[in-house]
Each structure stands twice: as structure tokens, then as C-alpha cells.
Chain A
């Protein structure tokens, strides 16, 4: 079984399958460089005659794409930053500190994590729309639009996920209790110990959570669809669907826009693949 020939054949099969998985991406790229004439020709021209960069220019001038990218970037960056801080602190407390009710509080957050986001969609919208004293609202949340069409409206629900807490807790629990004793002898209090000892130790998990949260936030479609209703607050995912909603879809431009919105994540993924894969494996096995 383990001989060279079988291995050679398996490699060949896997190569074929991998390329099959990549076909949609090849198509996306190739279409984005074609002219509409080439797309509509009767024979399927696989490689475009001349690589047309004009599709990218045309696609990006249909709507304020600089603004959409900026929106996605702001929302993603703030979500990742705040999640890392809040989740690492909570994860540390659940893993290393002893206070009454600790485990009960942790289990409650685990249960909350399992609730499908669609269950909280409608109330979240109502809460954010009627949030007191923001977006023209009075003390009772009346009179304005609240946090609808704002970065806050998009970011706040993203931060509420318990997944990161779970991830940090798993990681911080792996250290021996003697570590805490040693730190205590050195005269550090629990919070200092978190900052000076556990944060440096947890670097890989910070990277894993950042990769996970960034993917999730950058790719989110449903929530921005609900909480925004004007053009200036659109994220790139929402802006992509603009091309589709017209009577005749200009495929070349749509594929150019799709390429550009996917590119940032794919590049980050290729360079930091370890952290993307590690995250799902760790949680997958211990969830």
C-alpha cells in the first residue's frame, strides 16, 4: 500500500481534485480580464485575447468603492482589536482565577454562543435603532435612527461573540498551577500577571483569533444588509451585490469586483495559513 506507485497515483488524483476546487477562482480571474464580447461569444474562450484591466477601473467607478473598502476595513479592524482585548481578559479569568460562580458564568456564555444569530437579528435591530441618546434619540430611544447606518451598529453585535473567550480559556488552562504560584511570589497581582506573563505566552492564540474574527467580519453579509440602508455605509460584500441587481449583469465587471473584495483575505490567508487552520482545528476538536 505504502509503495511509491500508489503514492504517485494518489498525488495525481489529489492534484486533479485541487485544480477542480480552484476552477471557480481561475474563472473569476480570467473573466475579469475579458471583454464582454469574449464572454458572450459562442465558443468558450478560456484565455482572454488581451488582458483588459479596464474592467477593474470600470467596476470600481460604479459606486464609491474607496468608501466601501474603507467601511469594511474600519469595521473589521475595530472588531478584531476590541475582541482581542475583551476576550483575552475574560478567557484568562475563566481559566486561571477563582471566584464564586465562575463555571456557571462560563457555561451561560457557552450556551449563548450556540444560539443562531438569526434568533437575535430582529431584537438587535430594534435595540440598536432605539438606543438611548445616540443618533438623534432621546433618553427613551425615541425620535431618531439610533445606531442604524453607523459603524457602531455594525461592530457592537460582532464583539459580543463568546468564541474568542472559549479559545483563550482553552489555551490558558494548559499551564501548570505552579506558574501562578511563582508569579505570586514575585509579587505581581492577578492583573499584572495577565499582562506580563499570559499575554506574551498567548501570542499564537491572539493571531488565531485575529485571523478568525477578521475573516468572519470581512465576509459578513446578513447583518450589514439589515443594519444599513444607505450607500455610504455599505461594506464591500453589500456593494458586490449591486452588480447582480441590474437587468443585465456585466459579468466582466462583477468578476473584477469579486476578485478585489476577496483578494485581501486570500493574501492574508496565504501568508498566515497556520493561524487560520489552527483555529478551526483547536475549536473543532474541543467544541
Chain B
């Protein structure tokens, strides 16, 4: 994980100026990241509501188990993460495999796939809000063209989460494609040449060389993908604000609502600690099993 220098340095050769050079960065880190995390852990054991702070022990943590809305939001977040991740990974790999053949227009393909990733979540959500519009949006217009009855999309509790997932896939597909493409290009060509000489079919080559060689990349995308998708908030906020009937509320949406709408800061802090525990668990899993991804070198 960490490469330490082989050369030994005597105390005379210590670069104490290093402390000064990391000082500004560390000051920011302590004041705006580390310190807030500690405060948040403290808040989660209080009933802080912007005015009073009383210690309440584990009350917040006990409360969230009987908090139906939060339980629904956990479930929604899991559903969202599962479907978004499965599709972005599968489609991203497919797109990367196609582009990896020396095609004309490669740059154009990569740019168009990557463009949604660059666009802000707000802008992207606005466009999709328009596409999902029940009266004049393109989805219902297209359905109408084929004589199919129009849908309520974001206002339909059964469809709303699917709509958010579809938008998110569109948004992050390009990122997955680019990472997979870099992974594909780092596979040494002689492996394929040797396989061709041995008479292995393309499909066989894909199963025996491409997939195993891509395993670290896949693992990396899978872990970071889970972590990132668990933090889903902006799309939900703009497209549905958690509705209809909490069908699309997510963990972070609940943290935001409890903390900044209802001002139950203590309870919101406890919810965010739950999120932290989930994400840390996944990250630890990555460090334990994902070290194969560390030594891949792609410049």
C-alpha cells in the first residue's frame, strides 16, 4: 500500500521544512474535515436543534430503527445503488470494448459518452425533468406516437425510482467507460497474440484474458460505485424531492430533511453516522481485498 523509501536517512538529513509545506493543507483538513467529523459523532448523542444541546445517549440510534421513513430510505438507497451500478458497469464495459477496436470517430464517441458526466447534476436533472414531463415531455410524446397510453413517470410511485435510476445511468456511464477503456489499453498485446497463435476464439480470449486482467478495475469501480451511489441526493432533490409517498427518498435526502428542514440536527447527525459506518465498511473491504487494484499502473 505505502511505498517507503529503501534509503535510510540520518537525523541530520531530516527535511523539517516538510512540516511547513503540509501545514496549510493540514490546517484545512483539521478544521473543516476531521474536527467536524468528531463534532458530528458528539452531536449524534444529543438532541441538538440549533438552540439547545442535551445529551440523550443512544436515543437517536434507537429511534432510527423504528423510523419507518428512514427504513424506507435505506431500502430505496439499496435498490438505487444495485440497479444503477449493475447497469453502468455492464454498459460501460460493453461501450469500452466496442471503442477499444481502433475505430474512426473514437474521440467523438468518448466525448459524447463523457459529456453527461461533466454536466452538473442540477442541469442534467433539469433536462430529464423536462423529458419526463407528463404533459409535453418527450417520453410521453414518443409513447403517444406509437399509440401507447402516457405515463405519469415521476409522479407514479412505481416508476419514479426507475426514472431516477435511468437518469443516473446516463450521467455516469461515460466515467465507467473511460476507466474501463484505460484498463483495456493496459492489457499487454502479446497475451492476445499468443492466444491467437494458439487458436483461441475471440470469445475464449475475452473470458480467459480480458475479464481476468480487468478484475482490479472492476473491483475498483464496484467499490467506489457503491460508495458514491450511496450518497445519492441531488437527483432526488430536484426530480422528486423524495416523493411520491417517500418512494424515492434516500439516506442523504433524509439527513438533509431532518437536519436542515426540521432542524433535528442531533438526529440527522446520527443518520449521517450510519451512512459513515456503511461507507467505511465498504472501504475497509476494499483495503482488505482490493490491493490488487493498487499496483495497476496507467498513466
* Chain A interfacial positions (CB closer than 8 Å to B): 1-2, 6-7, 10-11, 13-15, 17-19, 21-22, 24-25, 27-28, 31, 39-40, 44, 85-87, 89-90, 92-94, 97-100, 102-103, 105-109, 112, 114-127, 156-157, 159-160, 162, 165, 173, 177, 189-191, 194, 215, 218-219, 221-222, 226, 237, 240-241, 243-244, 249, 251, 254-255, 258, 261-262, 265-266, 269-270, 273, 276-277, 280-282, 284-287
Contact = CB atoms under 8 A, between A and B. Distances in A.
Contacts of B18: 93, 97-99, 102, 190
Contact of A27 (B31, B130, B183, B220): B130
A24 B116 contact: yes
29 contacts: A7-B102, A11-B104, A14-B98, A14-B109, A22-B115, A27-B127, A86-B24, A89-B24, A89-B25, A90-B22, A112-B29, A112-B33, A119-B37, A120-B36, A121-B272, A122-B269, A123-B39, A125-B260, A156-B28, A160-B28, A162-B33, A177-B5, A189-B17, A219-B119, A266-B118, A273-B111, A277-B178, A281-B298, A285-B293
B39 A105 contact: no
Contacts of B115: 21-22, 25, 266, 269
Contact of B14 (A98, A189, A280): A98
Given A17-B109, A115-B33, A116-B231, 12 more contacts: A22-B115, A114-B280, A119-B273, A120-B32, A194-B21, A222-B234, A240-B122, A266-B115, A281-B298, A286-B296, A287-B220, A287-B293
Nearest to B1: A107
Contacts of A94: 22
A31 B102 CA distance: 36
B275 A118 contact: yes
B7 interface: yes
Interface stretch (B64-72, B81-89, B131-139): B131-139
B98 A115 contact: no
B188 interface: no
Interface in B73-108: 95, 98-99, 101-105, 108
A272 B141 CA distance: 37
Nearest to B167: A24
B233 A27 contact: no
Contacts of A273: 111, 114
Contacts of B4: 103
Residue among B33, B105, B173 facing the most chain A CB atoms (10 A cut-off): B33
B16 A99 contact: yes
A63 to B, nearest CB: 15
Contact of A160 (B33, B182, B299): B33
A196 to B, nearest CB: 15
A285 B116 contact: no
A19 B43 contact: no
Nearest to B179: A284
A100 B119 CA distance: 43
A21 B273 CA distance: 37
A255 B130 contact: yes
A95 to B, nearest CB: 10
B204 to A, nearest CB: 11
A35 B239 CA distance: 24
Dominant secondary structure at the B interface: helix
Interface string B31-66: 111111101100100000000000000000000000
Contacts of A85: 24
A157 B101 CA distance: 43
A85 B25 CA distance: 9
Given A89-B21, A251-B130, A287-B224, A118 B272 contact: yes
B294 interface: yes
B123 A240 contact: yes
B131 to A, nearest CB: 7
B163 interface: no
Contacts of A17: 95, 109, 113
Nearest to A101: B19
A24 to B, nearest CB: 5
Contacts of B120: 218-219, 221, 237, 261-262, 265
